[in-house]
Amino acid sequence: MTLPDGVERRRFDGAESLATQGEPVYGESVEDGWRRWVPERSKLGAMLELGVDTGLTGGETVLYLGAASGTTVSHVADFAGPTYAVEFAARPTRDLLDVAGDRDRLFPLLKDARAPETYAHVVEPVDAIVQDVATRGQADVALANRRFLKDDGRLSMAVKARSEDVTRDPEDVFDDVLETLEAGYEILERRRLEPYHDDHLAVIARPR
């Protein structure tokens, strides 16, 4: 799999890892201006480490759902174009604003990803949606935000089984999420994110 432009494999403390160029955010190692992309802290980083074809090439316009304090979306903004970062909780959004202070392509939005109509006046059509929301109804969130995705765009989604139902087998949860998602997307790839993240599934899809 080809990495996006702006993402490279570099050596940190004698070990090779993915990296992007930018100001550090979460205590990650930095060498010569390159910051280590820690896959244990990032679902998208884990996808790239595992060889999942996200369709990200570098320079694209991105809508990031579930930005939290900016751990992953900061790496995305290092290599992508305009990056709209949606986060529902006020406390992590304050951290996200600090991260955006060093990145002129990162636009934090204190909004609920389940209500895209509240930010539809801000977000332009995007080449990619990256979704990492820990809530019930993760497929519904992706379907609601499909409106922003260009016809040839890609959804890179991390499904957290325990956010849907802590009592069921994760594989059964994943199957249900994918069945719902297929109402608006064609599934291109699915892959578990172990050993980096337990009970998570990477899903790559394109709009139908």
So what's the pLDDT on residue 84? 98
Blockwise average pLDDT, block size 10, the chain, 208 residues: 94 95 97 97 98 97 98 98 97 97 97 98 98 96 98 98 96 98 98 98 97
Token look-up 């040839």 returns: 152
Residue 26 DSSP label: S
**pLDDT for 2:** 87
Residue 113 annotated as binding? yes
* Predicted local confidence at residue 144, as pLDDT: 98
Q: Cα dihedral angle (29, 35, 41, 45), rounded to 10 degrees? A: -140
Bridge partners (DSSP) listed for residue 154:
128
Antiparallel, parallel or unpaired: β 185-192 and 200-207: antiparallel
Pairing label, strands 34-36, 83-87:
unpaired
pLDDT score of 194: 98
Give me the pLDDT at residue 47, please: 98
107 is in an annotated binding site: no
Q: Quote the tokens at residue 183.
A: 């109402």
Does 79 count as an annotated binding residue? no
What is the reported pLDDT for 182? Answer: 98
Residue 133 counted as an annotated binding residue? yes
Domains and CATH numbers, the chain: 39-207 (3.40.50.150)
Q: Is 135 annotated as a binding residue?
A: yes
Q: Is 134 annotated as a binding residue?
A: yes
